[in-house]
């Protein structure tokens, strides 16, 4: 199945557009897990319990590679164990690399092998700044999801993303709309592209949905960043009430630092799923 087909399948099966961000910062992992464990064991055990209590409520997990890289080899081994665990136990759940890669083509060939072939991710976040030619090693992977940064959720996103220039077909546009048009009209020949559009900018999310039609979006910014669920879903869903991977990280995984952390994470995931589903339109 293509990435689009796999996403539609898991969203329908679990009736969920929720993505849990496994931003497993060692400093915030509950103390009882860090006691008498190595760094790698503590990270993996934290992830394992989160996964086992939430896998039936979500469509994807999204580890941010920075938190694993920060711990050196032990962190990267924990990441690999986590991904293998998901693949073995919950093979239909998607694994998204929050890696924000994007470099010259030969470097990207190395990134694709590492992210897709070694770690086994199903999708990756990418920078568009170097253009299509540089991203060709990613774009050629027809079975993988390529999630291009478009309108990010951070407060300073507009510094560059709102810059206006003249588009040859669509007139004067901010840069984020240029990116949306380029990806939707020129880069998505293999039907494997997606866009990152933050929940913290619902009007821009609506505008990008109008450009990108049915294309899936990764939507960060719900939870700790304060994105509004109702506005996000109404602006971000496609015509089938799907096409969204709505991420929450800290608002799920770090709500409790006690021995009940995994059950609390399950409850927060369930609450978010139900909130999202209130505002989704019915599809096929």
Q: CATH code at 30?
A: 3.20.20.70
What pLDDT shows up at residue 105?
Answer: 80
Within-domain flag for 284:
no
Overall average pLDDT of the 81-100 stretch: 98
Within-domain flag for 119:
yes
Within-domain flag for 157:
yes
Within-domain flag for 132:
yes
Q: Is the pLDDT of residue 219 over 80?
A: yes
Q: What is the pLDDT of residues 106-145, one digit of tens each?
A: 899 999 999 999 999 999 999 999 999 999 999 999 999 9
Q: Is pTM beyond 0.85 here?
A: yes
Q: Is the pLDDT of residue 201 over 90?
A: no
Q: Is the pLDDT of residue 226 over 90?
A: no
Average of per-residue pLDDT values in the chain: 95
Q: Is the pLDDT of residue 283 over 70?
A: no
- Per the structure, the complete domain to which residue 15 belongs is given by 3-279
Q: What is the DSSP string of 124-147?
A: EEE--TT-HHHHHHHHT-TTSEEE
Residues noted as catalytic: 100
Q: Based on the number of CB atoms within 10 Å of its own CB, is 234 exposed (0-12), middle (13-18) or buried (19 or more)?
A: middle
What's the CA gap between 256 and 6, in Å, rounded?
32
Overall average pLDDT of the 164-170 stretch: 89
8 A C-beta contact, residue 175 and residue 163: yes
Segment (H or E) for 88: helix 72-89
Q: How many domains does the chain have?
A: 1
What pLDDT shows up at residue 281?
Answer: 83
What's the CA gap between 279 and 165, in Å, rounded?
35
8 A C-beta contact, residue 76 and residue 118: no
Within-domain flag for 36:
yes
What pLDDT shows up at residue 94?
Answer: 98
Overall average pLDDT of the 78-83 stretch: 98
Nearest to 187, CA basis, from 235, 150, 242, 220: 150
8 A C-beta contact, residue 142 and residue 190: yes
Within-domain flag for 34:
yes
CA distances from 48 to 55, 101, 129 (A): 10, 26, 35
What pLDDT shows up at residue 224?
Answer: 59
Within-domain flag for 11:
yes
What pLDDT shows up at residue 167?
Answer: 87
More confident residue, 266 or 166: 266
Instruction: Give the model's confidence band at 215: pLDDT under 50 very low, under 70 low, under 90 confident, else very high.
Output: very high
What pLDDT shows up at residue 48?
Answer: 98
């Amino acid at each position: 199945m293509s990435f689009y087909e796999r996403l539609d399948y898991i969203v329908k099966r679990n009736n969920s557009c929720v993505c849990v961000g496994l931003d497993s910062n060692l400093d915030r992992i509950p103390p009882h897990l860090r006691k008498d464990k190595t760094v790698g064991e503590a990270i993996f055990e934290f992830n394992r319990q989160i996964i086992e209590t939430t896998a039936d409520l979500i469509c994807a997990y999204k580890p941010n590679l920075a938190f694993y890289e920060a711990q050196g080899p032990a962190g990267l081994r924990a990441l690999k164990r986590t991904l293998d665990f998901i693949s073995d136990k919950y093979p239909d759940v998607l694994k998204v690399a929050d890696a924000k890669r994007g470099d010259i083509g030969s470097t990207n060939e190395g990134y694709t092998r590492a992210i897709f072939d070694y770690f086994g991710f199903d999708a990756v976040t990418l920078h568009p700044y170097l253009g299509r030619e540089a991203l060709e090693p990613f774009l050629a992977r027809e079975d993988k999801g390529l999630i291009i940064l478009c309108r990010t959720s951070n407060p300073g996103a507009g510094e560059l993303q709102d810059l206006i220039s003249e588009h040859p077909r669509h007139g004067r546009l901010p840069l984020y709309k240029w990116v949306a048009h380029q990806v939707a009209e020129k880069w998505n020949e293999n039907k494997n592209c997606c866009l990152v559009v933050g929940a913290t900018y619902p009007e821009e999310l609506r505008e990008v949905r109008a450009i990108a039609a049915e294309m899936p979006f990764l939507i960060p910014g719900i939870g700790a960043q304060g994105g509004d669920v109702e506005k996000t879903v109404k602006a971000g869903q496609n015509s089938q009430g799907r096409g969204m991977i709505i991420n929450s990280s800290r608002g799920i995984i770090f709500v409790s630092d006690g021995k009940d952390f995994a059950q609390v994470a399950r409850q927060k995931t369930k609450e978010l799923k139900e909130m999202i589903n209130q505002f989704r339109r019915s599809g096929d």
